[in-house]
């Protein structure tokens, strides 16, 4: 199968098929994940050890990374990377601190006051992928807004390397961002541990973080009944919108940077001409020769595609139908095109805004909805770590003025006790 098949001017009736993601073995994945969740829910730490031995082929007596090992990790991280992490953390913190909501206090009528205050979630669990590529950047994307929001307790699960250790970059990032506890547990079993709690790992109130299809399925299943989850964040994806003034080399680089996330990732180019499509595919082949993760990239590109559409309107319409996790707009009047986008996790404007900027250090969050869920979900932000409580206070005069509306509505619904709760107060003599 050729990588990046080109589809010239498909009819709208064909768009649904062209916006499909990888769904192979979905029933089998659901079965396996449900079994793992049940094992951990009933077996705790013992089950985690058995699953680790079965899936990873290693024995694990304890799961928490000791404080001294976390501290020692700093010595293994190059100074240049520490400086890069500091820059990224500062930008992420600045952008997410600006999102903190103010208290809302409104007097909709005299004697009636309504207030809304945001409070942090008490204990949050972060899942950090750490298989082929330990994503220490995700530590920043989740732990920084958790701390900005004021969450009292932040715990983190990440897969161990074959020798049972955690990448020092992940440990250093965790300390940099104030993560309280780190556990060497990955996959669906980590989601289960965070959702149900074990003897070693505390049950959390909400789980955050991207992962492979097993992790995503685990979050979906526990999120239905057991714990709050952030959003559906499965295999990563990008859609590039490019007209003929764009650079095929830039478009190729963007497709490749997405494809190297994993074999189930997807990269889509929507362009205005077959010439641009062919030039980009040629650039992909040329640049691919210089990349280390060639096999993974080729696997992802086999389920990726190039769609040629003959009008700007159709190109934008296809992007909205796909609802990508990442959307790159390399077109004339890019901001004007962006204003017409109704479904995307994060949008990158113009030729100098590669997806990798948002993945690492621009300040926006890279934990984003995938699989078309950008139609209804936002990416992770400060608000994701908050819950809002409303308050109301009425004076006697305020209740008196509002009582006709309350009583009429309560009686129309047949809820007489609701109406009585107003009348009994208004009958009381003024003190």
Q: What is the pLDDT of residues 251-267, one digit of tens each?
A: 999 999 999 988 889 99
96 is in an annotated binding site: no
413 is in an annotated binding site: yes
Judge contact between 370 and 236, C-beta under 8 A: yes
91 is in an annotated binding site: no
Q: Which residues contact 54 (CB under 8 A, 6 or more apart)?
A: none
359 is in an annotated binding site: yes
Residues annotated as catalytic are: 325-326
Q: What is the pLDDT of residue 233?
A: 81
Distance CA 197, CA 203 (A): 4
Name the CATH superfamily, with its identifier, for domain 26-232: Nitrogenase molybdenum iron protein domain (3.40.50.1980)
261 is in an annotated binding site: yes
HSE-up of 197 (CA within 13 Å, CB side)? 10
290 is in an annotated binding site: no
Distance CA 139, CA 54 (A): 27
Q: What is the pLDDT of residue 29?
A: 92
* pLDDT mean values, one per 10 residues, the chain (431 residues): 88 96 82 97 97 91 95 97 98 98 98 98 95 87 98 97 93 98 97 98 97 91 95 90 98 96 93 98 96 91 96 98 98 98 98 97 96 96 98 97 98 98 88 53
> 346 - beta bridge partners?
326
CATH number (3.40.50.1980, 1.10.10.10, 3.90.480.20, 3.30.70.2860) of 5-22+235-363 reads 3.40.50.1980
Distance CA 242, CA 22 (A): 24
Residue with tokens 């409303």: 390
For CATH 3.40.50.1980, the residue range(s) in the chain are 5-22+235-363, 26-232
Structure tokens of 304? 């990726």
pLDDT in tens, 350-394: 999 999 999 999 999 999 999 999 999 999 999 999 999 999 999
Q: What is the DSSP letter of 317?
A: H
Q: Which residues contact 239 (CB under 8 A, 6 or more apart)?
A: 268, 269, 270, 319, 322, 324, 326, 327, 328
Q: What is the pLDDT of residue 23?
A: 66
Q: What is the pLDDT of residue 134?
A: 84
Q: What is the pLDDT of residue 319?
A: 98
Q: What is the pLDDT of residue 354?
A: 97
Q: What is the pLDDT of residue 47?
A: 97
CA distances from 413 to 80, 87, 237, 378, 407 (A): 66, 57, 48, 36, 10
Q: Which residues contact 250 (CB under 8 A, 6 or more apart)?
A: 330, 351, 354
Q: What is the pLDDT of residue 116?
A: 98
418 is in an annotated binding site: yes
Q: What is the pLDDT of residue 25?
A: 74
């Amino acid at each position: 199968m050729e990588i990046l098949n080109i589809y010239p001017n498909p009819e709208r009736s064909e768009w649904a098929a062209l916006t499909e993601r990888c769904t192979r073995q979905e029933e089998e994945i659901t079965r396996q994940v449900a079994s793992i969740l049940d094992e951990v829910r009933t077996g705790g730490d013992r089950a985690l050890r058995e699953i680790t031995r079965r899936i990873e082929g290693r024995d694990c007596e304890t799961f928490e990374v000791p404080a001294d090992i976390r501290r020692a990790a700093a010595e293994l991280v190059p100074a240049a990377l520490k400086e890069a992490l500091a820059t990224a953390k500062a930008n992420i913190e600045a952008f997410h601190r600006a999102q903190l909501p103010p208290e809302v206090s409104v007097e909709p009528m005299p004697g009636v006051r309504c207030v809304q205050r945001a409070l942090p979630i008490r204990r949050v669990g972060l899942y950090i992928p750490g298989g082929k590529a330990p994503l220490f950047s995700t530590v920043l994307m989740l732990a920084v807004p958790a701390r900005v929001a004021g969450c009292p307790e932040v715990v983190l699960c990440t897969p161990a390397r074959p020798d049972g250790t955690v990448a020092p970059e992940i440990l250093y990032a965790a300390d940099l961002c104030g993560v309280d506890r780190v556990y060497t547990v990955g996959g669906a079993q980590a989601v289960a541990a965070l959702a149900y709690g074990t003897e070693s790992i505390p049950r959390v109130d909400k789980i955050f973080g991207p992962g492979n299809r097993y992790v995503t399925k685990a979050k979906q299943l526990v999120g239905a009944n057991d714990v709050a989850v952030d959003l559906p964040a499965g295999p990563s994806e990008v859609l590039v919108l490019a007209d003929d003034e764009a650079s095929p080399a830039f478009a190729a680089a963007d497709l490749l940077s997405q494809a190297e996330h994993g074999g189930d990732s997807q990269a889509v180019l929507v362009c205005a001409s077959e010439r641009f499509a062919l030039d980009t595919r040629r650039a992909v082949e040329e640049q691919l020769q210089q990349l280390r993760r060639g096999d993974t990239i080729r696997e992802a590109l086999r389920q990726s595609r190039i769609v040629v559409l003959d009008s700007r309107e159709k190109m934008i319409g296809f992007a909205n139908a796909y609802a990508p996790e990442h959307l790159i707009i390399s077109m004339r009047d890019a901001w004007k095109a962006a204003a017409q986008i109704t479904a995307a996790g994060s949008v990158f404007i113009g030729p100098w805004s590669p997806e990798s900027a948002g993945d690492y250090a621009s300040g926006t969050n890279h934990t984003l909805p995938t699989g078309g869920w950008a139609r209804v979900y936002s990416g992770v932000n400060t608000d994701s770590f908050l819950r809002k409580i409303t308050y109301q206070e009425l004076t006697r005069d305020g209740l008196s003025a509002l009582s006709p509306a309350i009583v009429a509505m309560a009686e129309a619904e047949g809820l007489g006790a609701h109406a009585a709760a107003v009348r009994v107060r208004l009958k009381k003599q003024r003190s």
